[in-house]
Amino acid sequence: MNALRLVWDRFEEGFIVFLLTAMTLVTFVYVILNNLYTLFYNLGDRFEGASELFFAIGDAILDLAQAMTWSNALTKALFAWLIFFGLAYGVRTAGHIGVDALVKLASKPVQRIIGLIGCLACLGYAGLLSAASFEWAQTLFVAAIGAEDLGHFGVKQWHIAMIVPLGFAMVFIRFLEIFVRILRNEQTGLGLADEAAEAVKLTEHEEHVK
Q: What is the pLDDT of residues 119-166, one digit of tens each?
A: 999 999 999 999 999 999 999 999 999 998 898 889 999 999 999 999
Is a pLDDT exceeding 60 seen at residue 82? yes
Is a pLDDT exceeding 80 seen at residue 92? yes
Q: Domain tally for the chain? A: 2
What is the residue type of 205?
H
> Does residue 113 sit in the same domain as residue 208?
yes
User: For residue 200, what pLDDT band results from cuts at 50, 70 and 90?
Assistant: very low
Where in the sequence is the domain holding 48, given as residue range(s)?
1-68
Q: What is the pTM of this model?
A: 0.79
Strand partners, 115: none
Distance CA 87, CA 168 (A): 8
Distance CA 133, CA 142 (A): 14
Is a pLDDT exceeding 60 seen at residue 76? yes
Cα distances from 186 to residues 95, 118, 160, in angstroms, run 19, 16, 37
Looking at the domain assignment, is residue 85 inside a domain? Answer: no
Looking at the domain assignment, is residue 13 inside a domain? Answer: yes
